[in-house]
Amino acid sequence: MEKSLFYRQTWVEIDLSAVGRNYRTLKKALPEGTKMMVAVKANAYGHGIVEVSRKLVACGADYLGVACLDEALTLRKNLIHVPILNLGAFLKSDAAALIDNDVTATVTDYPMALELNKVAGALKKKAKIHVKIDTGMGRLGVWHSEADDFILKLCALPHLSIEGLYTHFPSADTDEAFTRSQITMFCALVTKLEIKGVKIPLKHSANTMALVGYKDAHFNLVRPGLAIYGLHPTEALIGKVDLAPVLSFKTRIVYLKNVAKGRSISYGRTHITKNDTVIATLPVGYGDGYNRLLSNKGRVLVNGEFCPVVGVVCMDQTMIDVGHLKSVRLEDEVVLAGTQKDKIIRIEELAHLCHTIPYEVVCWISPRVPRVYIDKE
């Protein structure tokens, strides 16, 4: 969307050239021939599933990963034809749409595999599947020690094509010993299957953290998410991995008020001015994804200087103290996350202040905030 096509004074800028740069950075870290599946679920982590996916396809992404069938159908309707894996579970009512739209299904139990096989047979097609293995996530998946027998049963279903086998790490950023035990379990399963004559083409387990930190988890397909968007799963990686931030969250000053010492700001009167100052009102709030937990803690950039958030963040508005600035005017651009002049506010900083993870911060940003796409490549 171009900036001239909307009236809101709050928007997000998505730098697609940074997506391309991050993709190439991660690709260079892989052994030759290793494929890459990029997670574009949750509207590409709030960045825009269609636009980001088109960029990734142009960069050579082998696969896209989504969380549900609707996300996959959005991509197909926008003429994105690369392989798509539905990482989530599916129901009987989804089977025909999965097969008709050439969406690869995740299989985790035999009754759903039977249903997929039956529908594929009726359509005179083969359903492509990846089998999810539970090595300790405790979510979707067949327990690893039972998976070889399960997969042998799947091999007997004539209308299924087992294209991939995968697992997921719950704590690659915090528990190396457990993660390595998962890798061992997964490798043992692959070996057992091969001894029994079952060779599954694609094996994958590496999310962003495992791609960076566990080379023995790469197998022949990796599936990064967060790093593609220039974000880090742990603050310890900032500066150690050459990632370019993709998303900037911006707004403008819409009101300026001279405020005397001792006056209260916003709901609950949680901020009382300590001096005569100037308070600027921004047309952004928790209804846009600027979290209420940033009340009296967050900071923004105005004219290249940090300005504190004062008072409680409202649904549609946030107040900042600009009394220390040499010059400030209506419509001055304000950076909530991103770079202005030589200073930066990282998404990771907002996550830290809100006691959460970067994934959640970018997913918070509401659909009512327009996305503006920039691509300098």
Strand 271-272 relative to strand 247-252, pairing: unpaired
Residue-level pLDDT at 236 = 75
How many angstroms separate the first and last alpha carbons of the chain? 17
**Which of 77, 215, 257, 267 is labelled catalytic?**
267
Max distance between CA atoms of the chain, in angstroms, equals 79
Residue-level pLDDT at 230 = 96
| Helix (H) or strand (E) run with residue 81 in it | none
| 315 annotated to bind ligand | yes
Take residue 251 and report the two structure tokens written for it.
Answer: 């707004």
CA distance 294 to 255: 20
Total Cβ atoms within 10 A of residue 148: 18
Residue-level pLDDT at 280 = 98
Residue-level pLDDT at 1 = 63
> In the block, which residue shows the tokens 């202005």?
340
Residue 337 · residue 13 · CB < 8 Å = no
Instruction: Clarify whether 41 is annotated catalytic.
Output: yes
Long-range contacts of 347-350 (CB under 8 A, 24+ apart): 347/231, 347/245, 347/247, 348/231, 348/232, 348/235, 348/238, 350/291, 350/294, 350/298
CA distance 223 to 305: 38
**Which of 23, 35, 41, 286 is labelled catalytic?**
41
CA distance 246 to 224: 15
Give 327's contacts (C-beta < 8 A, 6+ positions apart): 303
Per-residue pLDDT 10s for the chain (377 aa) are 666 678 889 999 999 999 999 999 999 999 999 999 999 999 999 999 999 999 999 999 999 999 999 999 999 999 999 999 999 999 999 999 999 999 999 999 999 999 999 999 999 999 999 999 999 999 999 999 999 999 999 999 999 999 999 999 999 989 999 999 999 999 999 999 999 999 999 999 999 999 988 999 999 999 999 999 999 887 777 777 889 999 999 999 999 999 999 999 999 999 999 999 999 999 999 999 999 999 999 999 999 999 999 999 999 999 999 999 999 999 999 999 999 999 999 999 999 999 999 999 999 999 999 999 999 88
DSSP string, 190-257: HHHHHHTT---SEEEEE-HHHHHH-GGG-TTEE---GGGGT--SSGGGBTTB-----EEEEEE--EEE
Superfamily of structural domain 31-229: Alanine racemase (3.20.20.10)
Pick the CATH number of 247-374 from 3.40.50.970, 2.40.37.10, 1.10.287.90, 1.10.230.10: 2.40.37.10
Q: Where are the domains of the chain?
A: 31-229, 247-374
CA distance 279 to 301: 14
Strand 318-321 relative to strand 277-282, pairing: antiparallel
DSSP string, 124-154: T--EEEEEEEESS--SSSEEGGGHHHHHHHH
Q: Of the candidates 143, 225, 219, 213, which has an alpha carbon nearest to the alpha carbon of residue 176?
A: 213
Q: Of the candidates 167, 153, 164, which has an alpha carbon nearest to the alpha carbon of residue 200?
A: 164
Let me know if the fold of 31-229 is the same as that of 247-374.
no
| 180 annotated to bind ligand | no
